[in-house]
Amino acid sequence: MASVFGKNIQVSVWGQSHSPAIGVTVDGLPAGEQIDEEVLQEFLNRRAPGQADYATTRREEDRPEFLSGLVDHVTCGAPLTAMIRNTNTRPQHYENLRDVPRPGHGDYAIGQKFHGFQDVSGGGHTSGRMTAPICIAGGICMQILSRRGVEVRAHIAKLGGVTDTVPDYCAQTPLPKLPAGRFPTFSEEAGKNMHKAILAAKRQADSIGGVIECIVTGVPAGVGDPMFDGIENRMAAALFGIPAVKGVEFGNGFAAAELLGSQNNDPFVVKDGQIKTETNRHGGILGGVTSGMPIVFRVAIKPTPSIGQPQRSVRLSTKAEEELVIKGRHDPCIVPRAVPVVEAVAAIVLLDFLRK
Amino acid sequence: MASVFGKNIQVSVWGQSHSPAIGVTVDGLPAGEQIDEEVLQEFLNRRAPGQADYATTRREEDRPEFLSGLVDHVTCGAPLTAMIRNTNTRPQHYENLRDVPRPGHGDYAIGQKFHGFQDVSGGGHTSGRMTAPICIAGGICMQILSRRGVEVRAHIAKLGGVTDTVPDYCAQTPLPKLPAGRFPTFSEEAGKNMHKAILAAKRQADSIGGVIECIVTGVPAGVGDPMFDGIENRMAAALFGIPAVKGVEFGNGFAAAELLGSQNNDPFVVKDGQIKTETNRHGGILGGVTSGMPIVFRVAIKPTPSIGQPQRSVRLSTKAEEELVIKGRHDPCIVPRAVPVVEAVAAIVLLDFLRK
Amino acid sequence: MASVFGKNIQVSVWGQSHSPAIGVTVDGLPAGEQIDEEVLQEFLNRRAPGQADYATTRREEDRPEFLSGLVDHVTCGAPLTAMIRNTNTRPQHYENLRDVPRPGHGDYAIGQKFHGFQDVSGGGHTSGRMTAPICIAGGICMQILSRRGVEVRAHIAKLGGVTDTVPDYCAQTPLPKLPAGRFPTFSEEAGKNMHKAILAAKRQADSIGGVIECIVTGVPAGVGDPMFDGIENRMAAALFGIPAVKGVEFGNGFAAAELLGSQNNDPFVVKDGQIKTETNRHGGILGGVTSGMPIVFRVAIKPTPSIGQPQRSVRLSTKAEEELVIKGRHDPCIVPRAVPVVEAVAAIVLLDFLRK
Amino acid sequence: MASVFGKNIQVSVWGQSHSPAIGVTVDGLPAGEQIDEEVLQEFLNRRAPGQADYATTRREEDRPEFLSGLVDHVTCGAPLTAMIRNTNTRPQHYENLRDVPRPGHGDYAIGQKFHGFQDVSGGGHTSGRMTAPICIAGGICMQILSRRGVEVRAHIAKLGGVTDTVPDYCAQTPLPKLPAGRFPTFSEEAGKNMHKAILAAKRQADSIGGVIECIVTGVPAGVGDPMFDGIENRMAAALFGIPAVKGVEFGNGFAAAELLGSQNNDPFVVKDGQIKTETNRHGGILGGVTSGMPIVFRVAIKPTPSIGQPQRSVRLSTKAEEELVIKGRHDPCIVPRAVPVVEAVAAIVLLDFLRK
């Protein structure tokens, strides 16, 4: 199924950019978990377009209405459904895209799949707007994980040639939370420079990509399954569900491919009476199963394909090449807003594993 | 489940490095497909250790016996099971690893999961040997795909600082086949230099990683599902099931994260009356769905953690740190042998999608 | 997952009897299918409590609002979500049931599962009200099936000792539709007598069960999978998701267990140049796969456990036995209203198989 | 997939009646479980044709070879595979069945599905012989369940008008084991009379069906999921995978459909300080979730369609009706041999639920 994932916790994401509503159903949450809607809202606000000059100017309050699954803010074991109304729907400046696909977008491929019946308006079901329901599900999972000692933190690791680093990939204490409104880097300096790179792209009516890194602390050793159902398998599968993700790597990832074994292996050591690895090049996962070290992974986000520059495309009905100028409001860089989405997906996948 | 994957075609891989046999069951293959066992054997030989000086000296003839699913070499719709006997089983020099885990291996993590009951001998179920049954399944799927015009080709794209390139990522004709016995690069020159890098690592009792790239031609546009069940999602999930894979990227992948939208978008054009993209930075997949262009992805293979150098580990029973020297026969570089495994996984996943 | 089923078409049912809304998400519907909301509403009205004297007096207009998945009443390939607001929520006379479970209901078992956090109000997620979203999904599938020549018809086969029969289990033409407002039997006489049996039970503050039979015409031969993924497997699994179903049988079913092979086998014959069976004791399914004959199955519906008579129960907090009198509005017989629910489930399962 | 089932424990059954071997792979078994092969063999012998005059005269020793998943008879967390060689393969007297399907068998339906490529020899993949690997998987699960206090017992409840009864459906102590070689009823008298009915059918070159009942003790309350993923849903789906099963009912089952609520509800009581129900008409499951009472279900087994009498069929290639006489060795009644198969399936499904 296109829009369902998970095994013990199953998340079903529904809605289109301009349908009456978007939402999510989460089946399999443990019963008896209090959901703090204020904390959830703060999390959702990190994704919301807000006033940042690097985001779309579309304004929408992503305030979910809970339709099922809660009794007095506590999960009751039944599927939880939350909905956000789309107040800003059915504009007319998208219909052209059914016949003239945008380069880098799914318009053409999805049109072939659905024989032209797909909802093109605002990107339809594959719009970045669909990450709002993912964040609702993920934000709820983060609250539940947090009570079990598991904390999920992502940041922009690389953007426009600027790098943000994590102080210690072996530390078992969670990294600081990055609040809504703040550019999502640990180093403010790095954030400022990334921000500049985004504005530079914006000025050229262009867009820019980046790399998001996620660190999860508190997952015990022995979680996951070897071979095809490990943390890496299911995490990667879910992460590629975030629009614009084109790569996923764990621990040293692609850099490991350029190393020798003696440079990439992590020696086992005893620290405070616990078995640890001295370094964390493996990113907390060995053989598909957690080692007890922080889980570390990175996702590559391509530059959003919606750019203001004229582009070459083809009119499908006539097979004539033509120039396309994309209208509408678009983010010059979706990476900052994708940071909480990566956290959300990580939280859903890990709670799913821990539910077993 | 650890060792089962697929939706319409379900592959179940079983066996341990030193169990009586290893094998695979493939459920859901179309009926009426002739399986050429000679062609399959040639494919399996590409993975076999052979005589190459960069591979383990363990000798085993990976000749499968077909136990079910065929009638006179033709698929009959029932699950196909093939088995390879392990002739070389239960040596004694592994038992130590239950208590002193090898750095970079799954020993510790998997031991935590299975409470010490895991089969440690020869790597057990997570041994690289388990890629033989994956290749049986994949080799069969490749024959079936080939009849539908779909060809899968992988090569080593990068190893030890050396790069192998593909002439044209937009060409719809399949790349040449890399036969057994040949170092799996398209450029012989690149292959020679990679080979040298492997031998250099070997001389230092070390190991080396690399990047494998796979190109699939002939898949029509419109295959896959948006969001969580697209080609990228399921392909990545399966690829991370190959031991030592630490990263997966499609098209431009992580490089896209450093580009502007105008540099990463692929203009649509008309070629020979067909709608194509001029470039193929998207790797044949847009919005999780195929665009009709060749599918291109890369996987990062870490250096095999089994190295001859002494390494630091911990004796679990006493929590005392100790030096570990790994015995047994090991590949200084598993990347060449992993090339057909990547092809196999790609073939299984794509046939699964095309079966729908 | 409790509330998700299906493979190629995945149905996720959400809501509780007294949550803000109930609804359903259907992922995997073919794109380009027109949904006639009037026809759907007529179908839903067959399930609605209405004014019948055999149904609860709770009044609710089950009019779904479509939140996603449609563009101008046509499916667009994205998940379809429909919602019905609960206007009549959170009454106070259920809280007692958390501590004093109703005999024959899931209160106790589900309370054990969810550690007392389940929503008890109005039956929560296991309320018969949750069959409304099932009917939305099923009614949509019926419209799509109908365009493919497949028609689903159910009726009450047995109730209170009265039997309704189908003229011909071999006929390929669909049975007549049973409209909303009509007692769902083909014979009006049988319907009248069943109705009387229900009113007799009602007068004693009791309830009564019955058997629903479903006949599906137009499914071609060769659909389904042998062994564990056939029509019977998946249909039965889904049917047991309807509250109060305690048995499922296909063709001759339990009666076959009392027959000789010569009495139960269906001879093959040629009719109008087509291969058929002369009789249809097998209910259209042989070896898990359709034979091309009408699919015939029956489900046993137990008498609704909510009866007006005092019953013996236990106060969980004190482990003291006590008499329970159930308040609220209840159907003396849910069988008539369950008839369209059985059709809905059958339609979902069959469209799922035909989507492959 | 045709031949895979389960969620946390996944069973993949492979082989055909006359393929080189048949077998089963079980993924997800807990690690560290000792498997007693003698006890397993005794269980398998209950299914084996043996010397009984009511079974086929085909002789095969169903002695499994374990290929993977065990280290010194103890599960190691890797998939367990067991194989039985077919010594008695590829006879010639089946080929006719590809063109002239046997009434009541899957020949025609499956032939339509697999376009005539199915293995017809000895029934192929849908042969009753495939219940041997199911019993291997189930016998292993029974040993593991037994250590957790869960015992599974089935018997023939009804055959040829004769009834066998269970002394007490509320007792938490397991029923006696029915050893290999004994007719599987609790009452010897009932067994003798059923045996007579079978021999009477045999004398007429006919076959006879029956009802198998299964009682499971020791499953705690709160296991299973409401709605579509409860015990009933998954148990029924798996049971319909046993060849010849045409009906499944839980507790009172179809009889409940003829009762009033006051007759079918089970009062809650306190016994020995525990909450129980006084009667067990619900068969241990309420709302899809276990109540802590013994689980009780029945399956209807149709008379085996292979009978010695001439039957009417059609030659598919010419569409001419012709008389068919089935050759080969066949059971006049498969019900006694199906009793351990029902136990096996029940054990697999329950261990799957308890693994969560």
How many Å apart are CA C215 and CA C194, to the nearest integer? 20
Summarize pLDDT for C183-224 with one digit per residue, the tens. Answer: 999 999 999 999 999 999 999 999 999 999 999 999 999 999
Specify the pLDDT at position A307. 95
Name the pLDDT band for C92 (thresholds 50, 70, 90): low
Q: What is the mean pLDDT of residues A132-154?
A: 98
Residues of chain D with Cβ-Cβ distance to C243 below 8 Å are 287
Which chain B residues contact residue C356 at CB under 8 A?
8, 356
Query: How far apart, in whole angstroms, are the C-alpha atoms of residue C202 and residue C194?
Result: 12
Alpha carbons D126 and B77: distance in angstroms, whole number: 11
Contact D303, D207 (CB under 8 A): yes
The pLDDT of C80-107, averaged and rounded, is 85
* Residue C43: C-alpha distances to residues B328, C134, C138 (Å): 69, 12, 9
| DSSP β-bridge partners for residue C271 | C274
Indicate if the pLDDT at residue B165 is higher than 70: yes
pLDDT of residue B327: 77
Token couple for C57: 């007096």
**For residues C195 and C208, what is the distance between their CA atoms, to the nearest angstrom?**
11
pLDDT at A330: 77
Per-residue CA distances from D191 to D150, D158, D335 (Å): 26, 10, 12
| pLDDT tens string D81-92 | 999 999 866 566
**Beta-carbon neighbour count of residue C320 at 10 Å?**
10
Q: How confident is the model at residue B53 (pLDDT cuts 50, 70, 90)?
A: confident
Tokens encoding C346: 């059958």
- Tokens representing residue B56 in the block: 């383990």
What distance, in Å, lies between the first and last C-alpha atoms of chain A?
22
Please give the DSSP secondary-structure letter assigned to residue A177.
P
Rounded Cα distance, D340 and C15, in Å: 40
Q: Kindly provide the ipTM of the predicted complex, given to two decimals.
A: 0.96
CA distance B161 to A258: 7
Please give the pLDDT value at position A122.
Answer: 85
Mapped onto helix, strand or coil, the DSSP state of residue D30 is coil
- Flag if A249 and B247 touch (Cβ within 8 Å): yes
CA distance C203 to chain D (A): 12
- Tell whether the torsion through CA atoms of A197, A200, A201 and A202 is positive or negative: positive
**Mean of pLDDT values over C171-181:** 89
pLDDT tens per residue across span D91-147: 666 778 889 999 999 999 999 999 999 999 888 999 999 999 999 999 999 999 999
Specify the range with the lowest mean pLDDT, choosing from D54-63, D73-82, D112-121. Answer: D54-63
Token representation of residue B214: 């796979």
Say which residues have a Cβ less than 8 Å from residue B5's Cβ, sequence separation at least 6.
A228, A229, B11, B237, B238, B241, B348
* Chain A environment of D356 (Cβ under 8 Å): 8, 356
Q: What percent of chain C has pLDDT over 90?
A: 85
Interface chains of chain B (3 or more CB pairs under 8 Å) = A, C, D
pLDDT in tens, B283-333: 999 999 999 999 999 999 999 999 999 999 999 999 999 999 987 667 899
Q: Sketch out chain B's domains with CATH numbers.
A: 4-354 (3.60.150.10)
Q: What is the pLDDT of residue A202?
A: 95
* Tens of pLDDT, residues C269-312: 999 999 999 999 999 999 999 999 999 999 999 999 999 999 99
Strand partners, D260: C208
Can you tell me the distance from the alpha carbon of C101 to that of C108, in angstroms, rounded to the nearest whole number? 5
Chain B closest-CA separation from residue A2 CA (Å): 5
Beta-carbon separation of A15 and C65 below 8 A: no
CA dist B184 → B175, B191, B243 (Å): 12, 7, 19
Please tell me the predicted confidence (pLDDT) of residue A188.
95
For the stretch D111-122, pLDDT in tens is: 999 999 999 988
DSSP assigned state of D272: T
- CA-to-CA separations, A184 to A152, A246, D248, in angstroms, rounded: 14, 20, 57
With a cut of 70, say whether residue A58 has pLDDT above it.
Answer: no
In degrees and rounded to multiples of 5, residue B234 shows phi and psi of: -75, -35
**Residues of chain D positioned with their CB less than 8 A from the CB of A226:** 78
CB-closest option in C78, C226, C356 to B356:
C356
Do D68 and B1 lie within an 8 Å CB cutoff? no
User: Chain A: nearest CA to B48, how far in angstroms?
Assistant: 20
Q: Which chains would you list as touching D if contact means 3+ CB atom pairs under 8 Å?
A: A, B, C
Q: What is the pLDDT of residues D232-249, one digit of tens each?
A: 999 999 999 999 999 999
Task: Select the more confidently predicted residue: C356 or C203.
Answer: C203
Task: Tell me whether residues B356 and C8 touch, CB distance under 8 A.
Answer: yes
| pLDDT value of residue A261 | 97
Chain B residues with at least one Cβ partner in C under 8 Å: 7-8, 78, 226, 356
The Cα–Cα gap between C144 and C286 comes to 25
B17, B68, B126, best to mutate vs chain D, most D CBs in 10 Å: B68
Per-residue pLDDT, averaged over C312-338, amounts to 91
Mean pLDDT of D154-166: 97
What does DSSP say about strands A80-85 and A21-27: parallel, antiparallel, or unpaired? antiparallel
Instruction: Please give the Cα distance from C153 to C131 (Å, whole number).
Output: 17
Output the six-digit token pair for C255: 């009666």
Q: Is the pLDDT of residue B58 over 80?
A: no
Q: Which residues pair with A12 in a beta bridge?
A: A4, A25
Residue in B9, B97, B113, B268 to test binding to A, most A beta-carbons within 10 Å = B268
Torsion of CA D278, D282, D288, D291, to 10 degrees: 20
Judged by CB atoms closer than 8 Å, whether chains meet at C302 and D247 is answered as no
Q: What local confidence, expressed as pLDDT, does residue B356 receive? A: 62
Q: Find the helix packing angle between A335-355 and A231-239, rounded to 10°.
A: 140
CA D121/CA C218 separation, integer angstroms: 30
Lowest mean pLDDT, pick from A1-10, C23-32, C58-67, C159-168: C58-67
Identify the pLDDT of residue A95: 73
Please enumerate in sequence order all residues whose Cβ is within 8 A of that of C188, keeping only pairs 6 or more positions apart, or say none.
none
Q: What angle do CA D335, D66, D1 make, to 5 degrees?
A: 60
C3 with A79: Cβ contact below 8 A: yes
For B1, which of A210, A229, A320 is closest by C-beta distance? A229
Is the pLDDT higher at D60 or at A156? Answer: A156
CB contact under 8 A, B250 and A246: yes
State whether C356 and B8 contact (CB < 8 Å): yes
CA–CA dist A330, A309 (Å, integer): 12
Whether the pLDDT of residue A230 is over 80: the answer is: yes
pLDDT at D48: 83
**Percentage of chain B exceeding pLDDT 90:** 85
Q: How far apart are CA A146 and CA A136, in angstroms?
A: 15
Query: Averaged over B63-89, what is the pLDDT?
Result: 94
pLDDT of residue A93: 61
Q: How many residues comprise chain C? A: 356
Q: Report the pLDDT value the prediction gives residue B98, as an integer from 0 to 100.
A: 87
Average pLDDT score over chain A = 93
Characterize A217-244 residue by residue with b for buried, 16 or more Cβ atoms within 10 angstroms of its Cβ, and e for exposed. Answer: bbbebbbbbbbbbbbbbbbbbbbbbbbb
Q: Where are the beta strands (DSSP E) in chain D?
A: 4-5, 10-15, 21-27, 65-68, 70-71, 74-75, 80-85, 151-159, 162-163, 210-217, 245-250, 268-271, 274-277, 285-286, 289-290, 295-301, 311-315, 320-324
User: Exposed (0-12), middle (13-18) or buried (19+): which is C176, by Cβ within 10 Å?
Assistant: exposed
Q: In b/e form, how buried is each residue of B325-334, taking b as 16+ CB within 10 angstroms?
A: ebeeebbbbb
More reliable by pLDDT, A154 or C180: A154
pLDDT at D95: 73
Digit-coded pLDDT (tens) for B101-123: 999 999 999 999 999 999 998 88
- The answer on pLDDT for B210 being more than 60 is yes
Residue (of D47, D236, D55) closest to D135 by Cα position: D47
H/E segment holding residue D348: helix D335-355
Q: Report how far residue A61's alpha carbon sits from residue A277's, in angstroms, rounded to the nearest whole number.
A: 44
Rounded mean pLDDT of A223-235? Answer: 95
How many CB atoms are located within 10 Å of the residue B239 CB? 25
| Whether the Cβ atoms of residue D88 and residue D24 lie closer than 8 Å to each other | no
In the predicted model, what is the mean pLDDT of residues C66-84?
Answer: 97
**Minimum mean pLDDT range among B83-87, B185-189, C329-333, D164-168:** C329-333
Reported as a single tens digit per residue, the pLDDT across C33-57 is 999 999 999 999 999 876 577 666 5
pLDDT at B51 over 60: no
Return the percentage of chain D with pLDDT > 70, whole number. 94
The share of chain A scoring above pLDDT 70, in percent, equals 94
Q: A26-35, A117-126, C207-216: which has the minimum mean pLDDT?
A: A117-126
pLDDT given at position A99:
93
**Tens digit of pLDDT for each residue in D163-200?**
999 999 999 899 998 888 889 999 999 999 999 999 99
**And the tokens for A223?**
């979680």
Q: What is the DSSP-derived secondary structure letter of residue A293?
A: S
d(CA D238, CA D241): 5
Comparing CB atoms, the residue among D230, D240, D275 nearest residue C314 is D275
Looking at beta carbons, which residues of chain C come within 8 Å of B226?
78
Count of CB atoms within 10 A of residue B57's CB? 10
Q: For residue B97, what pLDDT band results from cuts at 50, 70 and 90?
A: confident
Q: Which of D78, D226, D356 sits opposite A356 (nearest CB)?
A: D356
Element (H, E) at C340: helix C335-355
Task: Please indicate whether, in this complex, the C-beta atoms of D121 and B20 are within 8 angstroms of each other.
Answer: no
Using 50, 70 and 90 to split pLDDT, how confident is the model at A327? Answer: confident
Q: What integer is the mean pLDDT of A237-256?
A: 98
**pTM, full prediction:** 0.97
Who's near D328: CB < 8 A, 6+ residues apart?
Answer: D91, D93, D94, D122, D306
Cα dihedral C305/C307/C312/C317 (nearest 10): 70
Give the pLDDT of residue A1. 57
The mean of the pLDDT values for chain C is 93
| D303-351 pLDDT per residue, tens | 999 999 999 999 999 999 999 998 766 789 999 999 999 999 999 999 9
Max Cα–Cα distance, chain D, nearest Å:
71
